[in-house]
A and B are shown apart, each in its own frame.
Chain A
């Protein structure tokens, strides 16, 4: 049995070095001919926290989409939990989606349902029983700190509260992976920082978290693994890193 200290968290050890996500020579060309990703090789282990950074249009969102099978690689293989994602038949994609929670910059909440109902929705449509729903929704409301706002509609919430709701919805079905595509892109710095801390807490609970962002200050403050993309692919992949390579020298 191998023991490994999880980067940046002296108190936490991983006994199992399972690879959660792996990209092997992945390229993605959209039907319109745009080359969004080229030659991506990447391994993310179970329980890791990874920032995906890079200038706009370098394929951060595309990289995440390959993980939850919104896109299929043009070349190469994407493995999630050991499974070749591109080879999953259309009718079986739902199994993958239950392993991967996703949150977006624009929250994507259902406007005519309350916070409670938005979170419960994910359980209802995955066939949970009424009892499971009554037990799990309060648990995740508490995790994201929204117990007191559970009867509010999205339009009555601040951006940060909406994103917390979206995070609870993504996690309530217990996926081992959380993908966050610029989750703080619409939020002010203080709120962004609160969401960042929430995602860190979720990572500490054991979720593997991949987060794309443009927020250099936050990345620099967190000092976690950073995968930087440019138009040629992965420009940099470092542990305990900064947003810009040159920041390290500072």
Chain B
């Protein structure tokens, strides 16, 4: 439908709008960029926390130590009892000899929290939970069994991550809504100023019978360019923040090792760009639609 000269005309109009309105355009790019970066930061954290709880249950295995001197038949009975409990995915028996071997082997390497979970002096069961976030219930039930000496697992980390997941989820949702509304407002106003500066052109377009989609297009393009530039800015900000965070928490491994969202850089870039373009298109669409509804052809007269 559009011929090449129309496309050229529309793109040039959009660029002329941005140039005419440089300061507002800059403000729009900055707000869109910061908003997108903050929203994406929350989203990445939420994804990382979710992943830590759901995708890495082995990090939250529970070690159940058997009381010294429990007869072997009671031990195998205990295994059956444990396996039958709700929330238990699998149970592995680790004899005190094997526990000792593993402990010694790990001494040669970096010592991580994993290694400290095994008390080599006792037989134990390693329980893989189906949902570590419900581990406290399980722990309470197991603790009452007479054969059980002690239970070790990362309950503090789980509590930390569950709490974090909740806070990050709520704060992220609130922040995303507020920031997107704010960005939409700023972009919409930038576009409004652009429309106002070009009210004569717009009213002549309407008078001579330009299609509404044709009238809207340069403003939509302008909004998408601004928010798209915001998305690029957001990507830069996130990379900077990521590098800073890494430098800051490099030795606090127990926390940072969980904070991997698993989102590839290109995925993040694509998502940011899609969110930015959508935000830009929507805010400028609403802006121009409102203008076309409210204004008359008389705007050309001023």
Task: Decide whether A and B assemble into one complex.
Answer: yes
A residues in contact (CB < 8 Å) with B:
68, 70, 91, 94-98, 101-102, 104, 106, 108, 110-111, 121-122, 124-130, 133, 169-170, 173
Is B300 a contact partner of A108 (Cβ separation < 8 A)? yes
Q: How close is A48's CB to chain B, nearest CB, in angstroms?
A: 22
Q: How close is A188's CB to chain B, nearest CB, in angstroms?
A: 21
A129→B3 CA distance, assembly (Å): 6
Nearest 10 CB-CB pairings of A with B: A97-B209, A98-B209, A125-B210, A130-B5, A108-B300, A122-B208, A94-B209, A125-B205, A129-B3, A124-B9
Query: When the two chains form the complex, which single residue of A70, A91, A102, A124 contacts B6, counting CB atoms closer than 8 Å?
Result: A124
Is A97 a contact partner of B207 (Cβ separation < 8 A)? yes
Q: Is B163 interfacial (CB-CB < 8 Å)?
A: no
Is A169 a contact partner of B208 (Cβ separation < 8 A)? yes
Contact (A121, B204) CB under 8 Å given A95-B209, A97-B209 = yes
User: What are 19 A-B contacts with C-beta separation under 8 Å?
Assistant: A91-B212, A94-B206, A95-B209, A98-B209, A101-B208, A106-B301, A108-B203, A108-B300, A110-B201, A124-B5, A124-B6, A124-B9, A125-B210, A125-B214, A126-B210, A127-B2, A128-B5, A130-B3, A173-B209
Q: How close is A134's CB to chain B, nearest CB, in angstroms?
A: 10
Most buried by A among B204, B206, B208: B208
A128→B208 CA distance, assembly (Å): 13
A128→B2 CA distance, assembly (Å): 9
Q: Which residues of B contact A130 (CB under 8 A)?
A: 3-5
Q: Is B211 interfacial (CB-CB < 8 Å)?
A: yes
A127→B215 CA distance, assembly (Å): 11
Chain A residue nearest in CB terms to B296: A70
Q: Is B200 interfacial (CB-CB < 8 Å)?
A: yes
- For the residues of B in contact with A, the DSSP-based class is helix
Could you mark each residue 9-48 of chain B with 1 if its beta carbon is under 8 Å from any beta carbon of chain A, else 0? Answer: 1000000000000000000000000000000000000000
Is B5 a contact partner of A94 (Cβ separation < 8 A)? no
Q: Is B297 interfacial (CB-CB < 8 Å)?
A: yes
Contact residues of B between 191 and 222, Cβ < 8 Å to A: 200-201, 203-212, 214-215
Q: Is B1 interfacial (CB-CB < 8 Å)?
A: yes
Contact (A94, B211) CB under 8 Å given A125-B205, A130-B4, A130-B5 = yes
Query: When the two chains form the complex, which single residue of B3, B200, B210 contacts A110, counting CB atoms closer than 8 Å?
Result: B200
Query: When the two chains form the complex, which single residue of B3, B201, B203, B300 contacts A127, counting CB atoms closer than 8 Å?
Result: B3
Chain B residue nearest in CB terms to A108: B300
Most buried by B among A97, A101, A124: A124
Q: Which residues of A contact B206 (CB under 8 A)?
A: 94, 97
Contact (A102, B3) CB under 8 Å given A94-B212, A108-B200, A127-B214 = no
Could you mark each residue 50-83 of chain B with 1 if its beta carbon is under 8 Å from any beta carbon of chain A, else 0? Answer: 0000000000000000000000000000000000
A106→B9 CA distance, assembly (Å): 27
Q: How close is A227's CB to chain B, nearest CB, in angstroms?
A: 23
